[in-house]
Amino acid sequence: MRTSSSRRPSRTGEPSAVAPTGRRILVLLVVSGVLLAVVLGRAVQLQVVDRAAYAERALGQHRNEIITTAPRGAILDREGYRLALTEQASTIGATPSSIRDRSRVIAAVAEASGDSPDTIRARLDAVGVSHVDLARQVPPAAAKRVEAMLLPGLDFTPEDRRVYPSAIAAPLIGAVDLEGKGLAGLELQYNAVLSGKNGLEVRTADPSGNAIAVLAATPMVRGRTISTSIDRQIQTAAEEVTGATRSQYGAKAVTAIVLDPATGEVLAIASAPGPAHGDFRQATPSQIRLRSITDVYEPGSTFKSVTMGAGLATGRITPETQVRVGNEWRLFDGVLTDAEPQPGLKTASEALRVSSNIGVAKLAYEHLSGPAGRDSVLAEWIGRFGFGAVTGIDLPGEVAGIVTPFADWSGTSPLNIPIGHGIAATPIQIAQLYATIANGGVQRTPHLVTRIEGEGAVSIVAKRVMPAKAAHQLATMLEGVVSDQGTGSAADVPGYSVAGKTGTTKKINRDGTYSSSRYLSWFVGFAPASNPKVVVLIMVDEPHGDAYSGGEVAGPAFAELAQRALVAVGAPQDRPVVGSGATH
């Protein structure tokens, strides 16, 4: 008997059990290929297409920029004393969320910085800040006291702070902002010289912050020091005299200038009111304004030296040229009078000595401007002496004043322009005029900076304005003003000969008329007249009281400041002192 198997044989063409496995493998191969293509594509993008961008990002994660702040240069007086310097200070910062004792923090920071507690509280309460600077440029000792208190939430960052040790000449020196940039005065005028250039070093570092390499470096360049002509002794005297004069007469303001006529160096410029305690940053605009260069005034009789100087320089007038003076002088519809009429025949010297408006104006009319002002000699000399143009003093904000062009002169211009009316000038322009006379007719630009570190001495160009003979003649005539017979006798300085000129000007009202109660009182001159060492100008704006003339008000202030300046520069006396047994 035959036994048969139960498995039936496969039919021809029927798929075997191996087929599904092959399909899966094929799918896997396709998917793997696609994934590999994506990976390769991304690799190409990262390594080729976006390589530079990712390299820069990678570098940035480990790149440090270190800025080295350039110390600002110092400002020195003529003896090398530092009027402005830079010292280390601190910024006291705070993380408000970390502060535990707010009251203690506010009190400590306010005391250290000098800011009010309310100011510190407002900064601390600023909305939406995670960190705030509570006080900038806190002095080192004060910052260390706060730091020693170990108050949670406070931090301390070093920074530079500008300081002014002498507390004088604040408007001249100026100030800087919190970032060390000049805001006013010499700090602004010479900002590029003083500020220097910060240094920059770019480094790469590892994740721990350790330096790996220096990629680039720009060296720091220190700010350069500047030396000035400011004399601390004279500057102090000028500030004291202007302050005392303003207080004595209840004046709106008082301005003083002291120049060295031989060099044009500014020894002192002061104004009252000035910054309290010399603190520029806490002062009002009125206290820091440089009136001597930014404000213009009618110079009045101080301008008569221009008229006389033009006549002497051209030879059209001599000290002995005569002029007839009456109680008044009428020209067209204008009338000119003298404050104290002294009718009669006078020489040019006499007319200047008693400050005769009529005498000086008629001399100009008869010898310089001609009938109806047809001759332009006086107008030309006004420009030649520097009026209508800035002096070029190295301080910001100087103005040129106001001078009527000759073509616009009216028929009555010869009545007022020769005596300093109808013209506006700055005090520094008037001081420069008298420095030119004192220097034998040679004009030098008023300036404060005498030397710049790395450049040497500053060169000042001299310009001859008038012949030496004419300048000496005018100086002699101006000595007469300070004699017992002149309007400036109160400006006399014991032991020294003085040449100068008074000026009294009514201020102009808003409607263009002259005030009957507001005056400008001037005195400007030089000493010793025989060998001038200082030019001193005093201008009192709106003195109150019965005294208002330049001789009465400005003359004594000139005498005090001139005497102190002459002692400071070591000028020898050139005449006996009255009361010493010698004659005056």
| Per-residue pLDDT reduced to its tens digit, 200-236 | 877 776 665 566 777 777 887 899 999 999 999 999 9
| Domain closes at, from 175, 207, 228 | 228
Do 200 and 290 belong together in one domain? no
Q: Give the CATH number for residue 260.
A: 3.40.710.10
Do 174 and 277 belong together in one domain? no
Q: Report residue 348's pLDDT band, with 50, 70 and 90 as the boundaries.
A: very high
141 within some domain = no
Q: What is the pLDDT of residues 167-183, one digit of tens each?
A: 899 999 999 998 899 99
Judge whether residue 362 has pLDDT over 50: yes
Q: Give the CATH number for residue 72.
A: 3.90.1310.10
- Higher confidence at residue 57 or residue 535? 535
pLDDT value at residue 6: 42
Do 217 and 259 belong together in one domain? no
Q: Measuring CA to CA, how many Å separate 522 from each of 336, 502, 554?
A: 21, 6, 5
Buried b or exposed e, range 264-302, using 16+ CB within 10 angstroms: bbbbbbbbbbbbeebebeebeeebbbbbbbebbbbbbbb
**Average pLDDT taken over every residue of the chain:** 89
Do 179 and 279 belong together in one domain? no
Long-range contacts of 553-556 (CB under 8 A, 24+ apart): 553/245, 553/249, 553/521, 554/245, 554/491, 554/502, 554/503, 554/521, 554/522, 554/523, 555/488, 555/489, 555/490, 555/491, 555/502, 555/523, 556/490, 556/491
Do 462 and 557 belong together in one domain? yes
579 within some domain = no
296 within some domain = yes
Do 522 and 486 belong together in one domain? yes
Place of tokens 């408006």: 357
Do 256 and 220 belong together in one domain? no
pLDDT value at residue 327: 95
CA angle 511/548/302 to nearest 5° reads: 80
12 within some domain = no
pLDDT value at residue 65: 74
Q: How far apart are CA 116 and CA 138, in angstroms?
A: 14
Q: What is the pLDDT of residues 363-421, one digit of tens each?
A: 999 999 866 446 889 999 999 999 999 999 999 999 999 999 999 999 899 999 999 99
Residue 67 lies in domain:
61-89+162-228
Do 473 and 413 belong together in one domain? yes
| Domain closes at, from 175, 200, 228 | 228
27 within some domain = no
Hey, how many other C-beta atoms are within 10 angstroms of the C-beta on 546?
6
pLDDT value at residue 389: 97
Do 388 and 482 belong together in one domain? yes
Do 236 and 318 belong together in one domain? yes
DSSP conformational letter for 45: I
Place of tokens 């303003």: 246
Q: How far apart are CA 217 and CA 200, in angstroms?
A: 6
Query: What's phi and psi for 138, nearest 5 deg?
Result: -75, 130
Q: pTM for the whole thing?
A: 0.84
From 386, 355, 378, select the one nearest 504 (Cα to Cα).
355
Total number of domains in the chain: 2
pLDDT value at residue 211: 63
Does 528 sit behind a cis peptide bond, omega within 30 degrees of 0 on the bond before it? yes
Cβ atoms 479, 499 nearer than 8 A: yes
Going by their DSSP bridges, the two strands 226-228 and 75-76 should be labelled as parallel
The radius of gyration of the chain's CA atoms, rounded to the nearest angstrom, is 40
Judge whether residue 534 has pLDDT over 70: yes
22 within some domain = no
Residue 243, judged by CB atoms within 10 A of its CB (0-12, 13-18, 19+), counts as: middle
Long-range contacts of 109-112 (CB under 8 A, 24+ apart): 109/134, 109/135, 109/146, 109/154, 111/142, 112/138, 112/139, 112/142, 112/143, 112/145, 112/146
Q: Report residue 21's pLDDT band, with 50, 70 and 90 as the boundaries.
A: low
DSSP conformational letter for 59: H
Cβ atoms 470, 309 nearer than 8 A: yes
Average pLDDT of span 421-445: 97
Judge whether residue 469 has pLDDT over 50: yes
With H, G, I as helix, E, B as strand and everything else as coil, classify residue 215. strand
| Domain closes at, from 175, 204, 228 | 228
Q: Report residue 280's pLDDT band, with 50, 70 and 90 as the boundaries.
A: confident
Per-position DSSP letters for 181-214, written without gaps between them: -EEEHHHHHTHHHHH-B-EEEEEEE-TT--EEEE
pLDDT value at residue 10: 45
Residue 28, judged by CB atoms within 10 A of its CB (0-12, 13-18, 19+), counts as: exposed
Average pLDDT of span 299-307: 98
115 within some domain = no
Do 404 and 518 belong together in one domain? yes
Judge whether residue 101 has pLDDT over 60: yes
118 within some domain = no
Q: How far apart are CA 533 and CA 529, in angstroms?
A: 9
Residue 482, both tokens: 């300070």
Cβ atoms 583, 576 nearer than 8 A: yes
Q: Report residue 258's pLDDT band, with 50, 70 and 90 as the boundaries.
A: very high
Do 187 and 243 belong together in one domain? no
Category of 116 on φ-ψ map: left (φ > 0), alpha (ψ -120 to 50) or beta:
beta
